[in-house]
Structure 1
Amino acid sequence: RHRLFSEASYRFERGVDRELPLRASAKAVSLLATLGGGSVVPGCTHASVDMPAVTIAMAADYPDRVAGQVYGHGAVVRRLEQVGCTVSEAGEAGDEHGKHDRGARVLTVVPPSWRPDLANPSDLAEEVIRLEGYENIPARMPRAAAGRGLTARQRMHRATGRALAGAGYVEVLSHPFGSAADCDRLQLPADDPRRTALRLSNPLSEDEPLLRTTLLPGLLRVLARNAGRGFGDLALYEMGLVFRPRPSSPGTAPILRVDRGPTVAEVASLEAGLPDQPLRVAAVLAGDREATGWWGDGRPAGWQDAIEAAREVLRVSRVAYRVEADQHAPWHPGRCAALFVTGEEGHEWLAGHAGELHPRVVQAFRLPDRTCAMELDLSVIETAASALGPEAAPTVSPYPVATQDVALVVADSVPAAAVEAALAAGAAGGDGDSLLEEIRLFDVYTGEQAGEGRKSLAYTLRFRAPDRTLTDEEVTAARNAAVTEASRRVGAVLRGES
């Protein structure tokens, strides 16, 4: 109150040993007598206040339990006395059982005055472990409790990250904040729901006062920053939450009282004010997807790579999906694909989009030319995957594969995915017992021989049976059935017959 400082208060603030002044004065007097030839007069004036000694009760085996190894009663006492502590055992002359049960033995430890940091059993255990040597503590892997582990959603998140990392993408964490200008840079329409964002009352930066509704602006800023520093070939991904206000939300969450617990109605009003927070995964790539080297020229990243990244995520989830052309900001209208997943009872949900970004978006974010991106809603994919059973090992047939190639001519407007779906359905037949193991598009031709406004799609069909070697008649019948179904659905004609 009076702001009067003394030498004692200064020592107290620094935690200096309260017995140090007397000992230091005695040492100074001894040095004066020895080196200066002075005479020591007996007696001293020492103003002090008696303070109770700090007493710590600690189980004799507590350092053992902290370190995970046995030191022994003697080693614990010896190490504590080594740092100046006075150690006694409670009930040394009493209970005979306590002498043999280390868990029941309690040590009473009085730390020295120069160790004010020793205030609880953990401090004492640390001293014992330090003096015994940290390097002597064995390294053991912790064992999970039986019956526990990662949930299905956690396993899927990790598998998604591993799949994208295996495909060459690097994970980044961008800020979950944005601004209205981000929506303008993304060329979003005025009525796009992604323009409706929550505003923070205390943002870290006034330039970014909104919670993000899409992962793309943050990822694009990271890509632009790295490209500006000379890293031209980039493939980045991020998994994170986005924040979508609910249509019936009040806009602001209520402030509850703190002098009592919330009621059920108050908790409901609080939850009603929170936005939906779906988990999303997004990826962006620019520059060369395959590097140039002694093996030849590289390959620039294209919209196909963005779609393939989305396919990687969907393959991990094991859900059925289809890809079709779409127009959706901020992607290029002619190089954008929508991805749909199939859930229970055949319901389809939009999972996200992938493709090449619109040139205006590339210019607004100052990105490299032909930058591509994809964004998927993992919450939708998880919902569709929840209906699937446990993943089973695939059945490996010991019988040989039979390969057939077909080239089909269709109109330019017919997507390759529709032709592939028709071939697969035809090969499956009416009973659903399909011999088709794999179908792959390996060539697209749009020259004069295909005809004006038409294109030729060449597919490889692989047939295999799990219990026998297929005959030529069976393979030919399955191939013809696939071509017939493609002709019925999309008007496909075998090349050479058109």
Structure 2
Amino acid sequence: MYAPVSWLRELTDVPADATGADVAATLVRVGLEEEGLHGGDIQGPLVVGRVLTVEPEPQKNGKTINWCTVDVGQHGQMLTEGKPQEIVCGAHNFGPGDLVVVVLPGGVLPGGFEISARKTYGHVSNGMICSAAELGLGEDHSGIIVLGELLGPEAAAGLKPGDDAIELLGLADEVVEVNVTPDRGYCFSMRGIAREYALSSGAAYRDPADPAALPVDAPGEGGYAVHLTDEAPVDGRAGCDRYIARVVRGVDTTATSPQWMQKRLTQVGMRPISLAVDVTNYVMMLLGQPLHAFDLDTLSGSVGTRRARAGEKLTTLDDVERALDPEDLLIVDGADTPLAIAGVMGGATSEVGESTTNVLIEAAHFDQVSVARSARRHRLSTEASRRFERGVDPDVTAAAAQLAVDLLVEHGGGTADPAYTDVDHRPARQPFDFDVTLPTRYVGLDYPREEVLATLRAIGCEVGEGEGNVVSVLPASWRPDLTDGPELVEEVARVRGYDQIPSVLPQPKSAGRGLTHGQRIRRVVATTLAQQGLSEVLSYPFVGAGLFDKLGYASDDPRRAVVTLSNPLSDEAPLMRTSVLDTLLETLRRNVSRGQRDVAVFEMGLVTDGTGGPRTAPVPGVAGRPDDATFEALYAAVPPQPRHVAYAAAGDAERGGPWGPARPVDTGDAVAWALTVGRAVGLDLQVAPAERAPWHPGRCAVITLADGTVVGYAGELHPKVVAALELPARTVAGELDVDVLVAATGTPVDAVALSTYPVAHTDVALVVDEAVTAAQVEEALRAGAGDDLENVLLFDTYRGDQVGEGRKSLAYRLTFRANDRTLTTDEVSALRDRAVAEAASRTGAVQR
């Protein structure tokens, strides 16, 4: 909302020396957001000029410029010597004889843009012919300002070259731009902005809709017929609860709007169009009540509302034919012909034009939700819809219609019908109880009872005394957002000033317990993977049904049992993921497709287990807190959602350079990251070969606890999966169940004293069948070596003629250390032999 300071001064006592920045700061103190300051920064000479000649000159770049001579009068005698000025202009919406706005050398445009005579396109241009955007009057760069079109022929006829354009266009006035939040719809008007300024500064406020300032005629018998119907109220609320119809006859709609009105409309970012349109826009910007003007002679004896019917269409004022929805509220005439989408935009058939003489003024109050849905449905965000969907004051409707009628009569020469129609079906506003101690208890500052009551009355509430600290509050008609005590607390706090509320850290009554065990484990897991060089990402947990085929899941795979969303964000992804890899792999693909050749990412999140089948949840009422049985039923209806962590990588694990060639990521990296996570949380995870989609059958490992509980899987993805998902070749991935890690580490572990005695190393090479895994051999060695075995490390694998076909040699380094003595060579040899014997017994290993 744009608020000209000069206009604001008519509604409240703004100090004469107050700048736009001062006004903005005053508004910010009561919670309004300053968006910007406009105007007041233009320096002359900025003058009216009359175009004498226009010579188009095509350029080599395909652009055509105009070489013009412009009469700028006697302004700046020393600067122009009273001679016409030669100016280069790229616009084409003007011609000889037009009055334009010219900034001469030495002038400064908004943004500190200084103008000087300069050579361009082979000519010396002595100034610039200005567009609305260049003067800060709007966003239109398409052409320059033609004053005859902007002000109208009558107003422009009184201008002469050399007149000061700064005063003419009101460019010396500062305009404060305010960002209006959805709960402060009344600030979409000068009336609301002035009220907030007066509230913040304590200045006097003059309500432009006050009956004393704007006497409103009483409706009489014989007004224009109005019928309000609503076959399908939105959420039980009628689409229109008040409708005023006023008729002005004999209006000269071709008459030019007064200069002061055009100036103010321009200052607030609107383009003057015609008298009828300008009047309705001016009233809307002043009072916040959107109006609409109909050509009375195009109507069929009455006007009213109804919902649209299936298949109906309406051509709106923007010349677009729109297919209507049964939820759209329409304005219709006596023949049931659609005239407008209520609160959004009028139709072309009843538009006020140059031949219009009799005008019907509509001032109505429409339901916020209905207007908002229609505006979004038709992608029509208009000045009217923005106000209706935030809430328009229903008490200002009659005053707005009266002001529009008065302006049409005054400037259009019309005559208002003595009788008019006011159909008022508004429900009575209901007060509610408010405890005046709430602001002190909620905010933490001392708000005396007198201050609280005074603030409520200052914002327009009617306060009735009650028993004790409880009073009855009836919010103002322009504040539909005030419905309960906490919202009034916010009003009390903002009026005194948010800056008065200190920043105080809350003090707990007792010492906190810190992170839970599960939170600590999750942080350790995430930190460990990040330390391994992986980047944490976050993806939406929604997938499409076709993904499971791409991942190679079998038809009976439990991961195909999914939960389907009834209102998905995207129809292409209506299912909840059953594996974090379902969405993480798409993140990897996107990064690779954007040029990241070497990528390693991980994500920790919930997956949804749908194997239990569909679950039905009760729908509790809103009258009170649900009982325990209802809560239990709600919890039972939620499917299991274990927490997993998944990772995926492609490209090089180690980059090449002078130190050697690059090393691509492989299965070993995927398994090593899982084992590193296990060690970080204090678990010695086991690795064994496995077959599980979407991994390569020969390059997949299952990660388990010592008791065989499956933690997850890691390895290289299947080539078919890689191709289907458009991933780089040899992509590796892994996924671990974090809940299993949390449960496995839940029991405290006793600390073991470190031995200070030296270690003893011994190596052993064992030949086993190809089918025997290294993990099985390691487990056997540990079992046979006893408690003095500190570590087992596989450091070599050999396959060849020396061990025979179908056999392999595994070389291990055994590390022994006793807690109470230094082990002798014979003791170490005996322990080694026991370990080898156990391996031979369990796996058939033969020592080389």
The TM-score with structure 2 as length reference comes to: 0.43
- Cα deviation, residue 456, structure 1: 0.5
Which residue of structure 1 lines up, in the alignment, with residue 499 of structure 2? 126
2:198 aligns with one of 17, 32, 45: 17
- Cα deviation, residue 125, structure 1: 6.8
Give 1:13's aligned amino acid. G
Give 1:240's aligned amino acid. G
2:740 aligns with one of 380, 390, 396: 380
Cα deviation code 1:161-197 (max 9, x no counterpart)? 1111111111111111111111111010011111111
In structure 2, C-alpha distance between the alignment counterparts of 1:417 and 1:297, rounded to whole Å: 30
- Cα deviation, residue 297, structure 1: 1.1
User: Per the alignment, in what secondary structure is the counterpart of residue 831 of structure 2?
Assistant: helix
Q: Is the 8 A contact 1:223 1:234 kept in 2?
A: yes
In structure 1, C-alpha distance between the alignment counterparts of 2:775 and 2:205, rounded to whole Å: 88
Which residue of structure 2 lines up, in the alignment, with residue 104 of structure 1? none
User: Per the alignment, in what secondary structure is the counterpart of residue 705 of structure 2?
Assistant: strand
1:143–1:373 CA distance, 2 compared to 1 (3 A): farther
1:481 aligns with one of 820, 824, 834: 834
User: Per the alignment, in what secondary structure is the counterpart of residue 450 of structure 1?
Assistant: coil
Correspondence list, 1:151-166, <5 A:
151-166=516-531
Give 1:167's aligned amino acid. Q
Which residue of structure 1 lines up, in the alignment, with residue 386 of structure 2? none
Which residue of structure 1 lines up, in the alignment, with residue 604 of structure 2? 239
Q: Is residue 2:812 matched to residue 1:459?
A: yes
Q: Is the 8 A contact 1:224 1:366 kept in 2?
A: yes
Q: Is residue 2:612 matched to residue 1:259?
A: no
Give 1:287's aligned amino acid. G
In structure 2, C-alpha distance between the alignment counterparts of 1:372 and 1:459, rounded to whole Å: 27
- Cα deviation, residue 390, structure 1: 4.3
1:196–1:472 CA distance, 2 compared to 1 (3 A): same
In structure 2, C-alpha distance between the alignment counterparts of 1:123 and 1:166, rounded to whole Å: 50
User: Per the alignment, in what secondary structure is the counterpart of residue 292 of structure 1?
Assistant: coil
2:729 aligns with one of 352, 363, 369: 369
Q: Is the 8 A contact 1:404 1:479 kept in 2?
A: yes
Correspondence list, 1:239-388, <5 A:
239-247=604-612, 249-342=613-706, 346=707, 348-386=708-746, 388=747
- Cα deviation, residue 419, structure 1: 0.5
- Cα deviation, residue 293, structure 1: 1.9
- Cα deviation, residue 57, structure 1: 9.2
Q: Is the 8 A contact 1:402 1:464 kept in 2?
A: yes
In structure 1, C-alpha distance between the alignment counterparts of 2:815 and 2:668, rounded to whole Å: 24
User: Per the alignment, in what secondary structure is the counterpart of residue 16 of structure 1?
Assistant: helix
Q: Is residue 2:536 matched to residue 1:171?
A: yes
Cα deviation code 1:341-379 (max 9, x no counterpart)? 24xxx5x32221111100011011110100011111111
1:256–1:367 CA distance, 2 compared to 1 (3 A): same
In structure 1, C-alpha distance between the alignment counterparts of 2:761 and 2:558, rounded to whole Å: 48
In structure 1, C-alpha distance between the alignment counterparts of 2:509 and 2:525, rounded to whole Å: 23
1:165–1:415 CA distance, 2 compared to 1 (3 A): same
Give 1:444's aligned amino acid. T
1:142–1:171 CA distance, 2 compared to 1 (3 A): farther
Which residue of structure 1 lines up, in the alignment, with residue 555 of structure 2? 190
In structure 1, C-alpha distance between the alignment counterparts of 2:721 and 2:766, rounded to whole Å: 37
User: Per the alignment, in what secondary structure is the counterpart of residue 405 of structure 1?
Assistant: strand
Cα deviation code 1:426-481 (max 9, x no counterpart)? 101xxxxx111111000000011111110000011111112211111111111111
1:296–1:308 CA distance, 2 compared to 1 (3 A): same
Structure 1 vs Structure 2 CA RMSD: 3.1
In structure 2, C-alpha distance between the alignment counterparts of 1:349 and 1:385, rounded to whole Å: 13
In structure 2, C-alpha distance between the alignment counterparts of 1:118 and 1:213, rounded to whole Å: 47
Which residue of structure 1 lines up, in the alignment, with residue 571 of structure 2? 206
Q: Is the 8 A contact 2:671 2:714 kept in 1?
A: yes
Which residue of structure 2 lines up, in the alignment, with residue 447 of structure 1? 800
- Cα deviation, residue 227, structure 1: 0.6
Q: Is the 8 A contact 1:219 1:237 kept in 2?
A: yes
Which residue of structure 2 lines up, in the alignment, with residue 228 of structure 1? 593
User: Per the alignment, in what secondary structure is the counterpart of residue 221 of structure 1?
Assistant: helix
Cα deviation code 1:183-226 (max 9, x no counterpart)? 11101001111111111111111111111110112111111111
Higher helix share: 1
1:212–1:143 CA distance, 2 compared to 1 (3 A): same
Which residue of structure 1 lines up, in the alignment, with residue 783 of structure 2? 425
User: Per the alignment, in what secondary structure is the counterpart of residue 120 of structure 1?
Assistant: helix
Give 1:490's aligned amino acid. T
The TM-score with structure 1 as length reference comes to: 0.71
Q: Is the 8 A contact 2:517 2:742 kept in 1?
A: no
Q: Is residue 2:748 matched to residue 1:389?
A: yes
Q: Is the 8 A contact 2:558 2:611 kept in 1?
A: no
User: Per the alignment, in what secondary structure is the counterpart of residue 600 of structure 2?
Assistant: strand
Give 2:847's aligned amino acid. L
User: Per the alignment, in what secondary structure is the counterpart of residue 458 of structure 1?
Assistant: strand
Cα deviation code 1:375-415 (max 9, x no counterpart)? 111112222222x21463x5332221111011111111100
- Cα deviation, residue 339, structure 1: 1.6
- Cα deviation, residue 229, structure 1: 1.1
- Cα deviation, residue 317, structure 1: 2.9
Q: Is the 8 A contact 1:156 1:316 kept in 2?
A: no
Which residue of structure 2 lines up, in the alignment, with residue 79 of structure 1? none
Greater relative CO, 1 or 2 (CA 8 Å, sep 6+): 1
In structure 2, C-alpha distance between the alignment counterparts of 1:402 and 1:476, rounded to whole Å: 10
Which residue of structure 1 lines up, in the alignment, with residue 763 of structure 2? 405
Consecutive unaligned residues in structure 1, runs of 5 or more = 1-5, 23-55, 66-116, 429-433
The alignment-based identity, stated in percent, is: 45
What is the aligned length?
A: 386
In structure 2, C-alpha distance between the alignment counterparts of 1:445 and 1:354, rounded to whole Å: 24
In structure 2, C-alpha distance between the alignment counterparts of 1:298 and 1:250, rounded to whole Å: 50
Q: Is the 8 A contact 1:306 1:354 kept in 2?
A: yes
Give 1:451's aligned amino acid. G
Q: Is residue 2:773 matched to residue 1:415?
A: yes
Q: Is the 8 A contact 1:410 1:490 kept in 2?
A: yes
- Cα deviation, residue 127, structure 1: 4.5
In structure 2, C-alpha distance between the alignment counterparts of 1:21 and 1:122, rounded to whole Å: 16
Cα deviation code 1:92-128 (max 9, x no counterpart)? xxxxxxxxxxxxxxxxxxxxxxxxx984289557258
1:262–1:367 CA distance, 2 compared to 1 (3 A): same
In structure 2, C-alpha distance between the alignment counterparts of 1:279 and 1:151, rounded to whole Å: 15
Give 1:170's aligned amino acid. S
Q: Is the 8 A contact 2:543 2:573 kept in 1?
A: yes
Q: Is the 8 A contact 2:561 2:611 kept in 1?
A: no
Give 2:716's aligned amino acid. E
1:120–1:284 CA distance, 2 compared to 1 (3 A): same
Consecutive unaligned residues in structure 2, runs of 5 or more = 1-7, 12-185, 207-437, 447-489
1:141–1:479 CA distance, 2 compared to 1 (3 A): farther
In structure 1, C-alpha distance between the alignment counterparts of 2:614 and 2:682, rounded to whole Å: 38
In structure 1, C-alpha distance between the alignment counterparts of 2:781 and 2:695, rounded to whole Å: 30
2:847 aligns with one of 483, 494, 498: 494
Q: Is the 8 A contact 2:198 2:204 kept in 1?
A: yes
- Cα deviation, residue 151, structure 1: 1.1
